[in-house]
Structure 1
Amino acid sequence: MARVEFKNIVKVYEDEKRGSFTAVKGSSFVIEDREFVVFVGPSGCGKTTSLRMIAGLERQTSGDIRIGERVVNDLHPKDRDIAMVFQDYALYPHMTIAENLSFGLRNLKRPKDEIERKVKEASSILGLGDMLSRKPRELSGGQRQRVAVGRAIVRDPQVFLFDEPLSNLDAKLRIQMRVELAELHKRLGATIVYVTHDQVEAMTLGERIVVMNEGEIQQIASPTELYNKPNNMFVAGFIGSPAMNFIDARIGGGQALLAGGTAFPLPEAAARALGAYEGKPIVLGVRPEHIYGEAMAPDRAGSAKLEAHVQVVEQLGAESLVYFRVGERMVTARVHPELPVALGARQTFVLDAAKLHWFDPQTEQRIVF
């Protein structure tokens, strides 16, 4: 296996009608040997373009890409020692599963005994041993995706590249395949670069996550750090489901004055750190799971309270999602399902004072203290 390094990578697409478009804007990062790294972000953020540049399917406009000890800028994809799994399974329908798995090795003129050994190993790892004589049409979507992964495994590459491989599967199969991919990484000890637009998928699979937006890297961190210490409002709003709530506020006299008229005292450390914003706009961020109904709020939550009229309640069994408006923004609270909540009623909610985030409304950066 090998590490992957991007150094000041820029990708510009030229279009005669629309002019130039910069898809990746000076990315630099290192993916360590045997690490599982996930690129995540909305459509058009540059994540798939970055993956394709590692594979050699796209040529960077400037900068260097290194795989292992080699700069691979000028290497053909087949010479980069990578294997890629696409969103589309891309299996040969007229071939058996065994033939699909061995196709790449046969093209490379590998010895027959080596091909048989590697196909047997890959099929055993992926639970395909009793399906080798079948054709792709006889398999489920999840089984076909396993074959696509197996075709990459038999190559024994330095780096595995996954381009949204689960997006064609239904919700139940996606969960199952996430577990299987995580276990596969542990068994192979492989360097894996994985692209998805699904932040839940990113959080459950990645040892580190690269969050991208509009061609720029917003933050590279572990799932826990992204959740607890987002760099900015984009990361805070993208990571977490439901998304983090943002509430317009001002700081005054050691209090947070929220849009809509509610105010609550700030803890001493927060009051000191936010003193520079006295009388100025600021954005309060709070995750839905850190908002409680007053009747069920833990003692540690503190005295950060607000009142609002309940507009919608989604009862999901193990929890309820309660929606209400604070100023111009809709806020979501994830509360205990037994909390008495009535539509249209004015309800008191408690924000966990230790879990609040504060953002500069101009730069959208999190204020660290």
Structure 2
Amino acid sequence: MAEVKFVNVVKEFEDEKKGKVVAVNNANFTIRDREFLVFVGPSGCGKTTSLRMVAGLERQTSGDIYIGNRLVNKVHPKDRDIAMVFQDYALYPHMTIRENLGFGLRNLKTPKKVIEEKIKEAAAILSIENLLDRKPRELSGGQKQRIAVGRAIVRNPSVFLFDEPLSNLDAKLRVQMRVELSELHKRLGATVIYVTHDQVEAMTLGERIVVMNEGEIQQIAVPEELYEQPNNMFVAGFIGSPPMNFVKARLDGNQLYTAGYTFTVPGHLLPKYSRYDGKEVVFGIRPEDIVTVHLLNSEPERNVISPTLKVVEHLGAELLLYFNIGDEQVTSRVSADAKVKGLTPVKLYFNLDKMQLFDPETQERIN
């Protein structure tokens, strides 16, 4: 296996209408040997372009990419010692599964006996021994995805590349395949670079996550850090489901004034925000940090409001409560034990120990 390093990597495209478009802007980071790293972000953010540059399917405009200690800027894709799993499986319909698994090795002139051994090993790892003599049309979506992964495994590459491999599967099968991919990584001890637009998938699979937006890397961190210490409003709003609530506010001493409600900032947080005293800020709080007073042992003295609910969504074990603070919609996620009914006012406690404040101009989190 091997580490992968981006050094000042820039990728630009020419667009007929927009002119020059920067798909990846000055990327500098290292993917550690045997790490499972996930790129996540909205469509067009540059995550797939980054993956394709590692694969050699796109050539960077400037900068260097290393796989292991080897500079691969001018190395042909087939010579980079990588294997890629695509979104659409890319199986040959006229070949059996056995033939699909061995196709890449046959092109590399690998001895027939070695090919059979590698196919047998990959089939055992993925529990697909009984599928080897079938054709792709006879398989389910999940089985096809396993075959696509198996075709990468037989190559025994330095780096595995996954380009949104689960996006064509239904929700239940995606959950199952996430578990299987995570277990597979532990078993192989492989370096894995994985691209997805699904933040739940990213948080589940990634040892570290690269969050991208409009070609810029917003943050690289472990899942817990992304969730608890987002660099900016984009990361805070993209990571988490439902996303973080954002409300315009003004900080005055230990008081946080919003449209219609005043909150008291815990004393231990005030030094952190002292330079924003008397200024406009953006108040951020996660839905699970807004709870019904009904579920607390006693009603807190501060930071309790009684908004009129707009919508109550019942999700089995949880309820999502929607209400407004000024013109901004706010979501609370509470246990179904809260037994909120109808759209009547309900007392909600805001746990400001968990809040974040952001600069309204730069959108950066205030440290």
Mark yes or no: TM-score above 0.5.
yes
Structure 2 partner of 1:199: 199
Q: Structure 2 vs 1, CA of residues 97 and 302 (structure 1 numbering), >3 Å: closer, same or farther?
A: farther
Higher mean C-alpha deviation, range 272-281 or range 352-361: 272-281
Q: Determine if contact 1:301/1:354 at 8 Å carries over to the other structure.
A: no
Q: Is the 8 A contact 2:44 2:214 kept in 1?
A: yes
d(CA) in 1 for partners of 2:91, 2:26:
35
The answer to whether the aligner puts 1:337 opposite 2:336 as a matched pair is: yes
Closer, same or farther: CA 16–317 of 1 in aligned 2, 3 Å: closer
Mapping of 1:1-369 within 5 angstroms?
1-259=1-259, 261-297=260-296, 303-368=302-367
> What letter is aligned with 1:181?
L
Could you tell me how far apart the structure 2 residues matched to 1:181 and 1:300 are? 45
TM-score, normalised to structure 1, is: 0.97
Partner AA of 2:194 in structure 1: Y
Moved more, 78-87 or 247-256: 247-256
Q: For residue 338 of structure 2, give the secondary structure of its aligned residue in structure 1.
A: coil
Offset of residue 113 of structure 1: 1.1
Name the CA distance, whole Å, in 1 between partners of 2:32 and 2:95.
36
Unpaired runs of at least 5, structure 1: none
Q: Distance in 1 between matches of 2:267 and 2:67?
A: 49
Q: CA deviation at 1:107?
A: 1.1
Rate the CA distance shift 1:115–1:302 in 2: closer, same or farther, 3 A. Answer: farther
1:201 alignment partner, SS class:
helix
Is the alpha carbon distance of 1:300 and 1:36 closer, same or farther for their aligned partners in structure 2, counting shifts above 3 Å?
A: farther
Q: Deviations over 1:175-226 (max 9, x none)?
A: 0100000000000000000000000000000000000000000000000110
Give the drift of 1:271.
Answer: 2.4
In 2, Cα distance between equivalents of 1:120 and 1:191: 22
Distance (Å, rounded) in 2 between the aligned partners of 1:301 and 1:223: 31
In 2, Cα distance between equivalents of 1:246 and 1:272: 22
Q: What SS does the corresponding residue of 1:116 show, helix, strand or coil?
A: helix
Q: How many residue pairs are counted as aligned between the two chains?
A: 367
Aligned AA (2:76): H
In 2, the alpha carbon distance for the partners of 1:17 and 1:270 equals 48
Tell me, what secondary structure is at the counterpart of 2:310?
strand
State the Cα distance separating 1:85 from its structure 2 match: 0.4
Q: 1:241 Cα deviation (Å)? A: 0.6
Q: Distance in 2 between matches of 1:73 and 1:19?
A: 25
Question: Which letter maps to 1:168?
Answer: N
| Cα drift, residue 341 of structure 1 | 2.4
Amino acid at match of 2:12: V
Q: Verify the 8 A CA contact 2:293 2:299 in the aligned structure 1.
A: no
Shift in Å, 1:90: 0.7
Structure 2 gaps of 5+ residues are none
User: Residue 345 of structure 1: SS of its match in structure 2?
Assistant: coil
Contact 2:324 2:330 in 1 (8 A): yes
How far is 1:274 from its partner?
A: 2.1
Q: Distance in 1 between matches of 2:258 and 2:298?
A: 22
CA distance in 1: counterparts of 2:273 and 2:17, whole angstroms:
48
Question: Could you tell me how far apart the structure 2 residues matched to 1:209 and 1:123 are?
Answer: 29
State how far apart, in whole Å, the 1-side matches of 2:348 and 2:212 are: 33
TM-score norm. by structure 2 comes to 0.97
Name the aligned partner's letter for residue 175 of structure 2: I
